[in-house]
Structure 1
Amino acid sequence: MPENVATLLGRGVRVRVPATSANLGPGFDTLGLALSVYDEIEVSVREEPGAFVDIHGVGEGTVPTDDTNLVVTSMAYAFTAVGQPVPGVNIVAHNTIPHGRGMGSSGAAVVAGIMAAKGLLEGIVEFSDEDLLRIATEIEGHPDNVAPALFGGLTIAWETPAGPKHKKLAVHRGVSPLVLVPEHTLSTKVARGLQPAQVPHEDAVFNVSRSALLIAALTQSPDLLWDATEDRLHQNYRASAMPATHELVTALREQDFPAVVSGAGPSILVLADGTGARTAAAAFVSEHASVPWQIHSLAVDVQGASVAPLSAA
């Protein structure tokens, strides 16, 4: 066993990562919001190489429990990125973020692995926020889900020649998220494949204006959320892959609820202006939806991912 791996024996960390909703309507691949649904993992270093993952909750019996698990591969990537040998680990995962439904489950797994590496290497290698976002984006491919998972709140994420960047903003206390989760799933790859290579100029201008307005609506003026969540860049193109989602988003918006597709779907995010509007939206779904939906009244997570030693957790 390499000496620097041996120094990690006995170390263990607990990681907590929130769900996220990306795009938020017009902010395609740019805006993301952290939500109060969490995956938690406990990671302990062992003498044997490789990994074993004990999964409880979402993904139990279907998600890989060996070295191919996304949390494990992300942790290994982070170790390698900072020039450290990868230790063997045992992981206990308690998952509540739905898989394949547009709530950032893969981004959460990536962030969980990176935060585990950060915690296990404390005192040996330090990870800056820029390091965390860069590594997560390299694994995930785009920063819109991993940024809010890492940092919490509302995030704006963008790419530069020097790497991905982000800005975290506080959400107005009047914004009351409602998430509607269907029984069926949708692959992000399939959803992205429905996007055209080019869009009309007027649609691009439309989304630029709505994205700018959305920042103001989420941080200062929730009464503008219906106008601010209009989109012409991605949701209509993906409607054929999730007809029940498209139908319910349309119905909710016709009732003046600011409903959007959550991430790549098929879940729906309603950014209600106050708890009363959120309750009304939930009641509308219960009464009028044509297929079953799990209804979750959530808060905006303001902390983002956290990591602590197992002994102190």
Structure 2
Amino acid sequence: MKSLVQSILAIKDRDSVAMTTPFAIRALVTAALTLAIFMYCCLYATTTAADKTTTIGFSAELEGREADVREALESVVNDTIVHGTYVYDKEQTLSGAEAVESSKALGVWTGPGKIYYKVFRNALAPRNFKGSEDQGIITVRYVLQNVAPDRFRIYIDAVFVENEHRNVHPSEGIVESSEFREIAEWLKGIQLQEKKNEQSRARIDAEIAAKQDLLRRRQQEAARLADAEASAQDLVKRVQDLRHKVEMRVSTSGARVKSAPFEGAATLQSLKPSTDVVVLIISPYWLGIETSDGHRGWIRKEELVALP
């Protein structure tokens, strides 16, 4: 460039006769055109380089327990799918990705947070990456930051890097937003399942309390029936025995439930072996019982055994 300017000045310093020659005029025109073309090329090169480094990125907040947020994020990182892009129109799901420990495709992350990477190798002109027309690697980076108790910010970036020319094609934003949507859906599912589990635990606790209350009422009723049949002298002993034997099990031969405590009484039902019953009345040869479905009757003592 310096020699070109010097040539122009040398031509200008010649005598006026030489400056008017056709050769001098052609030299000046050529020099001016060369300078204009050079400046245009410099401007175009600068604009092209800036376009190659443009990135969009994505960030959003998630609310929930840290363990739940991490589980949702790691589930998407390891789901083998790059969401929001595809290669073939007939199959608009790009599966075959893998989680990796590190990647240089997006540079070094200098901020705080836990970093995850997912890559898909040998993708051919993936959709939703700017100007992607070659084969290369898709890299998705996730950064999870804790900004407050049970509140997190996640940063997601995605790029496509050509294998041969190493040109970088940033995502148009669809990949990042699609990955975040999957994470949010995973988190919603985890939180919903936890809510169901809490409701199940509460329902089980209520059922246990109801059964305990029923057993307590049955024991009280059994004590009242025993008091009507027993003398005051052995009442305490009978109640103590009843508490230890309030529930018994039908022996291996089965049992017949009678309407009254003698053999000639009508048979109300037959119980299969290992059927549990609640003992309500104790007599020398018969036991007044109640089945799990609320039926009452009498069974001979030898047809019942204690629970193991």
Q: What TM-score, normalized by structure 2, do the two folds share?
A: 0.17
Greater RCO structure (CA 8 Å; 6+ sep): 1
Q: What TM-score, normalized by structure 1, do the two folds share?
A: 0.17
